Amino acid sequence: MNDVLQQLAEVLEQRKQQSADQSYVASLYAKGLDHILKKIGEEATETVIAAKDGDKDKIIYETADLWFHCMVMLADQGLGPEQVINELQRRFGLSGLEEKAQRGS
Ligand SMILES: N=c1c2ncn([C@@H]3O[C@H](COP(=O)(O)OP(=O)(O)OP(=O)(O)O)[C@@H](O)[C@H]3O)c2ncn1[C@@H]1O[C@H](COP(=O)(O)O)[C@@H](O)[C@H]1O
C-alpha cells in the first residue's frame, strides 16, 4: 500500500490518545462521528465544485481534503486504508460486469 496512506493511518491512530486542543484530528474524534461525516459531505461538495470549475489545482487540493476526512472516518470506525485498498485490489481482476454480478444487483 502507498507509504503516505500507511504513515497517515499510523498518525491518525496515535491521535486517539491526544487531547482535542493539541490536534485537529483529535478534535474531530472528540466531536464524534456525525461531525466527521459532515466534514466528508462538505469536502465532497467542494471537490464536485472544483471539478465543475475545471480547476485542476483545486481538484487536487479538495480531493486530498476529502480523502483525509475519509481516512479519519475509517480510523474512527476501527478501519484503515488497507481494507479499502484490498477491496479495490479484489475488484481489479474482475470486469465491471463480473463485479456487479458478485454484488447480486
Ligand atoms: N492531511 C491532513 C489534513 N488535510 C486537511 N486537514 C485539515 O482539515 C481541515 C479542512 O477543513 P476546512 O477546509 O473546512 O477548514 P476548517 O474551517 O479549518 O475546518 P473546521 O474547523 O470547520 O473543521 C483544515 O483544518 C485542514 O488543516 C488536515 N489536517 C491534518 N492532516 C494530516 O493529519 C496529521 C495530524 O494532524 P493533527 O492532528 O492536526 O496534528 C497531519 O500531520 C497531516 O499529515
Range of the domain at 65: 4-103
pTM (whole model) above 0.90: yes
Rounded Cα–Cα distance for residues 75 and 56 (Å): 28
Q: How confident is the model at residue 102 (pLDDT cuts 50, 70, 90)?
A: confident
Q: Contact 25/15 with Cβ under 8 angstroms? A: yes
Q: How confident is the model at residue 5 (pLDDT cuts 50, 70, 90)?
A: very high
CA 75 to chain centre: 9
Task: Using the mean position of ligand 1's atoms as its centre, give its distance from the Cα of residue 103 in Å.
Answer: 35
CA 26 to chain centre: 16
Domain count, the chain: 1
CATH label of the domain that carries residue 78: 1.10.287.1080
Query: Which of 9, 75, 16, 73 has the alpha carbon at shortest distance from 42?
Result: 73
pLDDT at residue number 59: 98
Q: How many CA atoms lie within 13 A of 35 on its CB side?
A: 10
pLDDT at residue number 96: 77
- What atom of ligand 1 comes closest to residue 25's alpha carbon? 38
Q: Tell the residue nearest (CA) to atom 2 of ligand 1.
A: 68
